[in-house]
Amino acid sequence: MRHGAAVPYNLTTIEFYRIDDDGHLYISPAIREWSPLADLGIDTVIDLDAGLDECIPTTPEGCLYVYFPIYDEQLPNLARLDAVGTLGAELIRAGHRVLSHCGMGFNRSALIAGVILNKLGVSGPQIVRQIRERRPGALFNEVFAEYLATL
């Protein structure tokens, strides 16, 4: 399967939205099984939803799983948000594929993806445009969209 598949990428009813041009950063709603992620080469998951994913592989070197549950109404702690964004960007620079996901794949996952894009050199207004173009309906949370636009 191609890693640079068209957006959205639908596998077993979950749509994966490629956010960057190189196919290293994706957002999605909650995941239910690992094989579609593995098919895309995703080896890092940033989970922003309220419950841990049950399908994440537990073998060493299999997956880096970052659990950072946040509310959809307000910005999380900015120091932690910045740190998670830095981690995602550094992993992408090293060639890893990163998925940011939340319950529906619209706001929390887009917030983290936007911070990662900023750490990769994309400006705030472009971040908001790019995410909204690649994930229809994303960033309807204006608090998140306004924050990203200022980066």
Residue 1 lies in a domain: no
Residue 4 lies in a domain: no
User: How many CB atoms are located within 10 Å of the residue 82 CB?
Assistant: 13
Please give the residue range of the domain that contains residue 116. Answer: 15-149
44's torsion region: left (phi>0), alpha (psi -120 to 50) or beta? beta
Residue 127: CA count within 13 A, CB half-sphere: 25
* Total count of domains within the chain: 1
Residue 45 lies in a domain: yes
pLDDT one digit per residue (tens) for the chain, 151 residues? 334 434 444 444 678 999 999 999 999 998 888 888 989 999 999 999 988 888 888 888 889 999 999 999 899 999 999 999 999 999 999 999 999 999 999 999 999 999 999 999 999 999 999 999 999 999 999 999 999 999 9
The domain that holds 22 is classified in CATH as 3.90.190.10
Structure tokens at 3: 């890693």
